[in-house]
Amino acid sequence: MQITQIPFGTTDWAGVTSERKSGETGWADWKVRQFGAVRVRMLEYSPGYKADHWCTKGHILLCLEGELVTELEDGREFVLRPGMSYQVADGAEPHRSYTRSGAKLFVVD
């Protein structure tokens, strides 16, 4: 990722409107800011949320609250708790996430 032509700025996430997206189960509330080619998101997953697709987009993801399980298409699973992150490149291992208890995440992609 190359970050260019973005002047210094701050985001008060409390003032960013969210969009609710359904998963295979549960829902995700997305708050999104777009800065050129860089998308920054604050996500909140409901208890019981499971993604409805395998994702091949690259991300840097930080777990802020709750617990998130990310599974790779090859069967491996990784558990993130508050303060943990993962990173994956565009076109690398297909992945999807779920949470039993709910989770709040900060994502850059």
Please report the domains of the chain, with CATH numbers, ordered by start residue.
Answer: 19-108 (2.60.120.10)
Instruction: Tell me the pLDDT tens digit for each residue of 41-95.
Output: 999 999 999 999 999 999 999 999 999 999 999 999 999 999 999 999 999 999 9
Going by the DSSP 8-state scheme, the letter that residue 91 receives in this structure is T
Task: Give me the pLDDT at residue 4, please.
Answer: 85
Q: What is the pLDDT of residue 3?
A: 82
Residue with more model confidence, 72 or 36: 72
pLDDT score of 1 more than 70:
no
The span from the CA of 109 to the CA of 88, in Å, is 10
What do you get for the CA distance between the two ends of the chain, in Å?
A: 8
Examine the pLDDT at 100 and tell me if it is beyond 70. yes
